[in-house]
A and B are shown apart, each in its own frame.
Chain A
Amino acid sequence: MNVTFSKEEIAFRDEVRAFFRDEMPEGIADKQRLGVPLEPKDFIDFQKALYRKGWAGYNWPVEYGGTGWTTVQKYIFGIEMAEANAPGIITFGLGMVGPVIYTYGNNEQKQRFLPDILESNVWWCQGYSEPGSGSDLASLKMRAEHAGDHYVVNGTKTWTTLGQWADWIFCLVRTSTDVARRQEGISFLLIDMKTPGITVTPILTIEGDHEINEVHFENVKVPVENLVGEEGKGWTYGKVLLQHERTGTARVAHTNYRLSNLRQQASRSVRGAEPLANDRNFMRKLAAVEVELKALEFTELRTLAAVASGKAPGPESSILKLKGTELQQAVDELYVEAAGYYALPYVPSQYTLDFPESDRVGEGSETQSSLTYFNCRKVSIYGGSNEIQKNIVAKHVLGL
């Protein structure tokens, strides 16, 4: 048992570091540094660069285009990606529907969908929640009626992240109501967003951005070959996907990166004020989050190592989600505290490439701190609220 990187691991780290330094598509680094929102093209360009390097599906099995990386390599990759301030990988294709298709899809579906997911040719979004089905996901009502060679889909999905940019949506739909348990009769369906009968309505989130949507389906015809796995077994597939999602939502490396930036920032004077580092209360709070985050880093490594030994991410991934989101939000709060009065100005318009940095209100990301704080209240709500995660751990880990 040891914590230092081997020669091979250091060589790998250097390779990853060089990739992010040299191959990050033009403009993205600037936008990230200036806090300018990314456009779909930026995400796609970045993911395509990963694809060219063979790293897009780095978590996937080798036979489907994965990397075969060890746990430590994945860990290193995560750290380097965060340190490079790279955009996050949009998870819906590579992190969610991809694994469901290669695990439960038939050969035709694997050939049809997986290459485009790997290459980021197709933007996917997730159709799980419905207006009446949040934490109680199994109560979902969107109907898919079997009608010959297709299903007719009617209903509404909501909180659909970046649905406005999506080419395809994967949905949990109800194919049967004549079931003993509500979890039965749910199927996993892939739907082309260009199919007639689909409309996307924006929902503005707390900080004023358009990130999520409602997606309405009215007599949408979906070919039966778009059903993944068996009809009525979608709940099982969807659960596995959520476990993948939860492992991903810990975002430990990203939070670490933000926290270490904050520590550095605290040692500098802003507008001639005394550095925050002299504020014992603030530094104690920061240090306490650092401790928990270091612990989570190793909880994640332990989980990854368990997965590497052949286990699917199990209910323990709920602990990652729980703690990861708590700590993400704790760091958001520290940024707000650090900004003081400059957490108040609401000036999203200054975060564009044309806006002169020197004319901005506030230093650095100060005026974005509160927006991030508000926006990221979502992280303990999505992917199954943290209270639901506790129910899952209680039932499946503690056997209660």
Chain B
Amino acid sequence: MDLSFTEVQTMLVDSIEKFIANDYSFERRQQYAASDAGYSADVWATFADLGWTAVPFGEDDGGFDGGPVELMVMMQQFGRGLIVEPYLANIVLAGGVLRRVASSSQKTRFLQPLISGELQATLAVTEPQSRYDLANIETIATKDGDDWIINGRKGVVLNGGNAGLLIIPARTSGSNTDRDGITLFAVGGVAKGVSRDAYPTVDGHQAAEIVLQDVRVESNAIVGKLDEGYAVIDAVVDEATLAVCAEAVGIMQILTDKTVEYSKNREQFGVPIGSFQALQHRMVDMLTACEQSYSLLLWASMVNADKTEDAKRAISAIKYQVGTAGKKVGQEAVQLHGGMGVSWDVDIAHYFKRLTTIGQMFGNADWHLDKLAE
């Protein structure tokens, strides 16, 4: 057992910190979020240049063999920087599928351009009716000669409007909510029969409603094995859950720091508001929530890196923790900032909104607590 970071992990943190300090001000972030794509292509190219898009992939694929701990330290910094670039959709979700089960020709075709930053991608995890059940898939793929015809809908697909590659889970056998019988298909974002309604999300990111109507793909579009896609999505979503939790912890920490700082400078009744005990105790609660969440995040990352028997439970534990403590910290940060906390032009509001959307993704606190209560 060892709680210290490796040199590589520390370097990753340092390089992201430096990038955010020098090149990713809140004002720029807001410009990127407001642009058509909803992120900066230049920044994404920089991510690739600096090797960040390669971290989770194996050395054979041109990556750095990073695991859950490396992902955690990166995402925590992305949280602090309020990064809108679609690392989650590209690298964690789509990349997570490709890394695990793509054939070598699929890797050449999709994974290499993904790592180099030329290809945008995503995994369409959810359907309009599925809520948090990953097996609730009504999209159907039927065989037609050597091809497959896909019909169905995907909802709130992260980065769905930008993605040149959509990884589409579709039912190839069994009935809705069966874990068996789900197959993953690589579908082009502009393939015939794909229609996309792209929109920004409340946190400044991007998503899309996607309709697949008689989309014809060849059998080499199958990523992984026929009917055995569930285990892949499940593992990838666990990793994505850990990733957004790390992002959330980064946000919680910076919100707490900023709130404490603000309370030292903001004067009312002739004194800094941080001198009021009623507020001091609430900020201590925020700090405690951050410390507890960070501790649990370390544990969850480590047990998933070490693949201990706690690994799956740890995902639910950290998502529950971040869902509850994150909501608390976000709401308190806004409240203690007063009117500034609800102003569009102040970063607090946007950190809070990202915390809120993270709470809604990959199972909310209630949903994960239920898993833990089983």
Q: Which residues of A contact B (CB under 8 A)?
A: 1-6, 9, 71-72, 75, 280, 283-284, 286-288, 290-292, 294-299, 301-302, 305, 316, 319, 322-323, 387, 390-391, 393-394, 397-400
Q: A2-B1, A3-B302 are in contact. Are A400 and B296 (CB under 8 A)?
A: no
* Min CB–CB distance A287 → chain B (angstroms): 4
Expressed in whole angstroms, the minimum distance between the Cβ of B324 and any Cβ of chain A is 8
Shortest CB distance A246–B (Å): 14
A398 touches B280 (CB 8 A): yes
Q: Does B281 contact A394, Cβ atoms closer than 8 Å? A: yes
- List 6 interface pairs A-B (beta carbons < 8 Å), by A numbering: A1-B2, A3-B303, A284-B372, A288-B369, A294-B299, A387-B281
Is B308 part of the binding interface, using a Cβ–Cβ cutoff of 8 Å? Answer: yes
Q: Does B151 contact A (CB under 8 A)?
A: no
Describe B's contact surface by its main secondary structure: helix
A298 touches B283 (CB 8 A): no
State the B residues within 8 Å of A (CB).
Answer: 1-6, 9, 69, 260, 263-264, 274-275, 277, 280-281, 283-285, 287-288, 291-293, 295-296, 298-299, 301-303, 305-306, 308, 317, 320-321, 369-370, 372-374
Given contacts A284-B372, A295-B292, A397-B287, 16 further A-B contacts (CB under 8 A): A1-B5, A1-B6, A2-B305, A2-B306, A3-B306, A5-B1, A288-B320, A288-B372, A290-B372, A291-B317, A291-B320, A294-B296, A394-B280, A394-B284, A400-B264, A400-B280
A291 vs B299: C-alpha distance in the bound complex, in angstroms? 11
Which residue of chain A is the closest to B318 with respect to CB atoms?
Answer: A291
Interchain CB contact under 8 A, B6 and A319: no
Asked whether B284 lies within 8 Å of A2 as measured between CB atoms, the reply is no
A295 CB contact (under 8 Å) in B6, B274, B296, B369: B296
B128 CB, min distance to chain A CBs, angstroms = 28
CA distance A301 to B292 in the complex (A): 12
CB contacts (< 8 Å) of B260 on chain A: these are: 398-400
Alpha-carbon gap, A6 to B275, bound state (A): 47
Minimum C-beta distance from A139 to chain B (A): 18
| Cross-chain contact B373 with A1 (CB below 8 angstroms) | no
Question: Which listed residue (B264, B281, B299) contacts A3, Cβ 8 A?
Answer: B299
Decide if A287 touches B296 in the complex (CB within 8 Å). no
Residues of chain B lying within 8 A (CB to CB) of residue A319: 287-288, 291
- A400 contacts which of B69, B274, B317, B369 (Cβ < 8 Å)? B274
Query: A400 touching B1 by the CB < 8 A rule?
Result: no
CB distance from A283 to the nearest CB of B (A): 4
Residues of A within 8 A of B6 (CB): 1
* B contact residues around A4 at 8 Å (CB): 1, 306, 308
Chain B residues within 8 Å of A297, by CB: 295, 299
Cβ contact within 8 Å between B373 and A283? yes
CA distance A397 to B281 in the complex (A): 12
Q: Are B317 and A294 in contact (CB under 8 A)?
A: yes
Asked if A322 meets B288 with Cβ closer than 8 Å, knowing A283-B373, A398-B283, A400-B264, the reply is yes
B307–chain A nearest beta-carbon distance, Å: 9
List of B residues within 8 angstroms of A399 by Cβ: 260, 264
Chain A residues, CB < 8 A from B295: 295-299, 301-302
Whether A302 contacts B280 by the Cβ 8 Å rule is: no
Which chain A positions have C-beta within 8 A of B296? 291, 294-295, 298
Collect the chain A residues with CB atoms within 8 Å of residue B301's CB: 1
Shortest distance from the beta carbon of B3 to any chain A beta carbon, whole Å: 6
List the A side residues contacting B5 at CB < 8 Å. Answer: 1
Chain A residues with CB under 8 A of B370: 280, 284
* Bound: A305/B4 CA distance, A: 9
The verdict on A287 contacting B372 (CB below 8 Å), with A399-B264, A400-B263 known, is yes
Enumerate chain B residues within 8 angstroms of A400, measured Cβ to Cβ.
260, 263-264, 274-275, 280, 283
Residues of B within 8 A of A397 (CB): 284, 287
Chain B nearest CB from A10 CB (Å) reads: 10
Q: Which residues of B contact A316 (CB under 8 A)?
A: 291
Q: Tell me, rounded to whole Å, the shortest Cβ–Cβ distance linking B332 to chain A.
A: 13
Q: Are B292 and A1 in contact (CB under 8 A)?
A: no
Query: Measured between alpha carbons, how far is A115 from B69 in the docked complex, in Å?
Result: 45
Determine if B264 and A9 form an interchain contact, defined as CB atoms under 8 angstroms apart: no
Given contacts A291-B296, A398-B280, is CB(A1)–CB(B9) below 8 Å? Answer: yes
Residue picked from A2, A5, A294, A387, most chain B C-beta under 10 Å: A294
From B273, which residue of chain A is reached at the shortest CB distance?
Answer: A400
User: How many Å from the CB of B76 to the closest CB on chain A?
Assistant: 13
A14 vs chain B, min Cβ distance (A): 15
Please measure, in the bound complex, the distance between the C-alpha atom of A280 and the C-alpha atom of B298, giving whole angstroms. 28
Q: How far is the CB of B264 from the nearest CB of chain A, in Å?
A: 7
Q: A295 and B321: CB pair below 8 A?
A: yes
Contact A391 B369 (CB under 8 A): no
Q: With the chains together, A298 CA to B2 CA distance in Å?
A: 12
Closest chain-B Cβ to A70's Cβ sits at a distance in Å of: 9
Which 5 residue pairs are nearest across A and B when measured between Cβ atoms? Answer: A298-B295, A287-B372, A3-B302, A394-B280, A283-B373
